[in-house]
Structure 1
């Protein structure tokens, strides 16, 4: 394991006029405080504090100035003058992330404005840094300093993060063992791979965990609906957060065990279904679509990806089309007489009935082995068309609210935490 530090780059969605004004106020106050401390030639944190304490800034911005100004005025930089436009800096933990993988814009950032006041703003992330953002969100990476700045009318936030990463071996793709990962409602996660003779081996199903999550979700929707009917919104929200916390605990336990399973396989490679295609292919009627969109596909994918990355295990994705319908032995389409049972329709195939989720996991692994894999750059170009601040796919339906007065200027939009 080695500690690696990376700068995570986020482009903020176009803020409304109220948030735009607050961001500009923060930048102006920061620039004024920086200039005043620089003009006073503050070479110590104490001297800098005496100057910046009067400015309407959050403690995170003031603490960043107390670290930065002595460097400018002292031996580190010995600067003669300041540039016109310094980014606003915040110390670690000043900025917070929230993740809503069910939304069109998945990431939200909390930006400090001044003491006890902050702004929640949707943010577009660099797809190549997804695993890092997920690790930061799960507290598996340490967040460092953040920098907020504006260029040509667009606001950006750069966040430094550090985490321990396993040094990856120089194993070629052909030498890897694809492990199919099937995520569903019956068995929360199912994994399986083929041995050297191409026979499916060591399937592992987390069926009991699937039952636990289904029970918790049912309890959540039933109880919160009753509480909302009684106008107990605050109690409903608190109760819902507690239940989703239990679901998250299950998710973290299962995804950790999935990665441990992969570690036990020689030269492993985890193969997931591409969520883009899952969303495109969902058309099972309004009720089932709502259930499936609310299911934890994206969150489970996210946790598997960053936990695998920490262990140096590569992850790829494939088109999930027909992976649950095709027979892994002959390729013919079959059907499910029961949720957990797959039946092949080919009378000449040795498979008559098979565990449905294991059959799907093998098909997912085989799809990668056949040469089909989707790079992030390909998915990114396909997603650019919807890369905006519209309500597409629920982009603004469940975003966190700003604090205090800012929350009062907008309609309440916070929805359920649909994993």
Structure 2
């Protein structure tokens, strides 16, 4: 089932409440680090907290932390957790709607309290689905964005989607000169990389100037701004691709594995060279989850030879020259990235395991 995460801002929590959330986070982090080295972690229950501290702490958080530390101990390379936010399962965090307002209730150091949250229009639909039972609520996390100094609750939501019965298959090719090219049947959709590359170069030039001026804070600030801009662009591109799929009766979207995508730029003169750090994986993830939410299945294709193979079956490296594709055997010509998208839709190199 598809999963999305709602990030709800707590509505103007008082200074006392913010200090309490900070204290909860500190205690939970210390407890998690203590658990990492506990010899009886695998048999631990909420009663183990009394060995750690005599202070009062919600058992709901204790139990959830024990579960998470158990599952992450093998993956945890560092000897300590830098921060462990407090988490609440679907039995301990409740969403309540009162009129047009929503609150989330969760255990704290004092008692279980209902906290008003800021809800965007698109989030309201999902909260209503949780309340009426058509979507399943996962383990929520109480956390703070350090830079904004605001507290949030992140709630994962899973839901069932009816798979579309359409049989058309669409291929999506990702690259540097064209960030994405989608193809289904005789129709195609292109997203040029040049406008994005221009903005990336502006950011790069700004970083160089700031670096010479030793303004490291401004470099980080502009880096965050650039990341937000890239994420917004990926949201727009992925949204248009899925809409294009829905409009053309697509039941399956195929995309290639990303290994080696940054090696496609042949030289420093390539128009899209400043896109080498483009968030391609993020773009694929966005396409995938938006497709799944719409009932479109996503499949992953081995990318080998997708850019070198002609529809006649002939394959050689010289068939492609930049964005131009011309078969050395039959003379067939087409936009190279479009040819790649067509071959991805056909999965000419097979599906990835």
Above 0.5 in TM-score? Answer: yes
2:197 and 2:274 in contact (8 A); partners too = no
Deviations along 1:143-163, one digit per CA (max 9) or x if unpaired, are 63369xxxxxxxxxxx97214
Aligned to 1:373: 351
Structure 2 partner of 1:356: 336
Q: Does 1:321 align with 2:304?
A: yes
**What is the Cα deviation at residue 166 of structure 1?**
2.3
Question: Could you give the per-residue CA deviations for residues 360-395 of structure 1, whole angstroms, max 9, x where no partner exists?
Answer: 11111122xx581123xxxxxxxxxxxxxxxxxxxx
Shift of 1:112: 3.0
**1:181–1:364: 8 Å Cα contact kept in structure 2?**
yes
- Give the ranges of 4+ consecutive aligned residues of structure 1 lying more than 4 Å apart after TM superposition: 2-6, 25-28, 30-36, 139-143, 281-288, 290-293
The alpha carbon displacement at 1:185 in A equals: 1.5
Structure 1 runs not aligned, ≥5 long: 7-19, 40-50, 53-61, 70-84, 91-107, 114-138, 148-158, 195-200, 376-419
Q: Which residue of 2 aligns with 1:24?
A: 33
Indicate the structure whose relative CO is greater, using CA pairs within 8 Å and at least 6 residues apart.
Answer: 1
| TM alignment of 1:174-323, pairs within 5 A | 176-194=167-185, 201-207=186-192, 210-276=193-259, 278=261, 294-323=277-306
Report the Cα distance in structure 2 between the residues aligned to 1:229 and 1:252, rounded to whole angstroms: 33
Q: Deviations over 1:27-60 (max 9, x none)?
A: 89x9689659xx9xxxxxxxxxxx73xxxxxxxx
> Quick one: structure 1 residues 341 and 266, their matched pair in 2 at CA, closer, same or farther if it must change by over 3 Å?
same
Whole-angstrom distance in 2 between the partners of 1:272 and 1:186:
17
Other structure's SS at 2:178 match: coil
Counterpart-to-counterpart distance in 1, 2:2 and 2:315: 48
Partner Cα distance (2:201, 2:265) in 1:
22
Whether the 8 Å CA contact 1:323–1:360 is kept in 2: the answer is yes
Shift of the 202–4 alpha-carbon distance from structure 1 to 2, 3 Å rule, reads closer
Question: Is the 8 Å Cα contact of residues 165 and 311 (structure 1) preserved in structure 2?
Answer: no
In 2 relative to 1, CA 344–269 (structure 1 residues): closer, same or farther, beyond 3 Å? Answer: same
Show the counterpart of 1:104: none
d(CA) in 2 for partners of 1:373, 1:287: 33
Equivalents in 2 of 1:287, 1:22: separation in Å? 54
User: TM-score by structure 2 length?
Assistant: 0.57
Alpha-carbon separation, structure 1, partners of 2:345 and 2:2: 31
Alignment coverage as a number of residue pairs: 251
- The structure-2 alpha-carbon separation of the partners of 1:87 and 1:254, relative to structure 1 and needing over 3 Å to count, comes to closer
Question: Match of 1:99?
Answer: none
- What TM-score does the superposition give when structure 1 sets the normalisation length? 0.49
SS of the residue corresponding to residue 111 of structure 1 reads coil
Q: Do the aligned residues in 1 keep the contact of 2:182 with 2:189 (CA within 8 Å)?
A: yes
Q: How far 1:205 sits from its partner (Å)?
A: 0.7
SS in 2 for 1:275: coil
Q: Which residue of 1 is the match for residue 70 of structure 2? A: none
Counterparts of 1:92-241 in structure 2, within 5 Å, are 111-112=84-85, 144-145=139-140, 161-169=156-164, 171=165, 176-194=167-185, 201-207=186-192, 210-241=193-224
Structure 2, gaps ≥5 residues long: 6-28, 39-44, 68-80, 87-122, 127-136, 143-153
- Deviations 1:274-325 (CA, angstroms, capped at 9, x unpaired): 124657x77968999x967523221111111111111111111111122112
For 1:342 and 1:5, how far apart are their aligned partners in 2? Answer: 39
Report the Cα distance in structure 1 between the residues aligned to 2:302 and 2:260, rounded to whole angstroms.
6
- 3-state DSSP class of the match of 2:311? coil
SS in 2 for 1:294: coil
Deviation at 1:250? 1.1
